[in-house]
Structure 1
Amino acid sequence: MSTNVRPDIDAAVAKLSGTLGSKREIAKLPEVLWEGETVDMLATGIYGKGNGLVVMTNMRLIFLKHGIMGQQLEDFPYPKISSVQWQGGMIMGTMTVFASGNKAEIKSMPKDNGKALADKLRMVLARGGAAPGVPAAAAAVPQQQDPASRLATLDQLRAVGAISDQEYQERRTAILNSI
């Protein structure tokens, strides 16, 4: 499906398994993005009281619901996210985001888009908040996770095959050396 909203948004929409119930949010997305912010991945899901759009950008994770009776916008800047969990069923799954001592559950996410987004988000967190496509050393976002959380995230990435054993050992050594 082509939305002709913006090239980065159109590319992310093309990867969605379905846009049912999220067309209004896709159209409104440029209004909620910060200057210089680009969309990397999208998924649909239910958060709080409504079905909406989960947006992974180069700066943050966003949940956007834009209905006739009300709007909901919640964002999670990467440095504030301590970990991400994915629990998948046959067709749908739930992504749980732990940020600033809070827990946000986004339910009824299509399994393919939700798992891919959760895996990529874990990779961003393991890189210290570096945006997708940006080398970790060039990330302007300082690392604010404690070493135990960083090691747990690293273990999750290795468990799902997002990083190799060699990358795991190198990053684990770097985390332990930073203590």
Structure 2
Amino acid sequence: MSVMSRSDVRSAVVMSELQGQRPRRRDLTRLSQLLATEERVQRLGVGVVGVGLGRGRGLLVITDHRVLLIRQGWIFQTLEVMDRSKITSAQWNGSVLTGTLLINASGRVLTIPGVLAGNGQQLTSYLCR
């Protein structure tokens, strides 16, 4: 089953595209393998993921249960997962065009640079509520 056949994913992709961010098809394909049937995607964002040669544009996914950071490259793959119930804070450090989203969960900090300013502020507000 294609991830785009899910209405929650389609809605999140449309919202992301309206904000000028286009998720990569291979990241969405990887997302389809990671989502549980009862899990609902609520927000998507695009930012820089990975380190070294595996660094590149990736997908930030906020579901009702987890936060996932996915980069499905040809050679390198990155997957970071945080339980939403363990998130203690989210912080946005931005400039006019892009910025960095910091998510803290039980002392572990997930840093996502290269997020578009408008989307980063919305993702931070969503995670803090």
Give the TM bin, normalised by the shorter chain.
0.7 to 0.9
In the TM superposition, what are the counterparts of 1:3-152 in structure 2 within 5 Å?
4-16=4-16, 17-19=20-22, 22-49=24-51, 50=55, 51-123=57-129
Measure the CA separation in 2 of the matches of 1:4 and 1:104. Answer: 27
TM-score of the superposed pair, with normalisation by structure 2 = 0.85
Higher relative contact order (CA 8 A, sep 6+): 2
Query: Aligned pair count?
Result: 120
Alignment RMSD? 1.6
- Residues 79, 14 of structure 1: CA spacing in aligned structure 2 closer, same or farther, 3 A cutoff? same
Moved over 6 A (4+): none
CA contact (8 A) 2:39 2:65 kept: yes
Measure the CA separation in 2 of the matches of 1:46 and 1:86. Answer: 15
Larger radius of gyration: 1
The amino acid that maps onto 2:97 is I
Query: Which ranges of structure 1 fall in alignment gaps of 5 or more residues?
Result: 124-179
Measure the CA separation in 1 of the matches of 2:58 and 2:115. Answer: 10
TM-score of the superposed pair, with normalisation by structure 1 = 0.63
Which residue number in structure 2 is paired with residue 163 of structure 1? none
Measure the CA separation in 2 of the matches of 1:29 and 1:18. Answer: 17
SS in 2 for 1:4: helix
Query: Which ranges of structure 2 fall in alignment gaps of 5 or more residues?
Result: none
Identity over aligned pairs, percent: 31
CA contact (8 A) 1:93 1:114 kept: yes
State the Cα distance separating 1:41 from its structure 2 match. Answer: 0.6
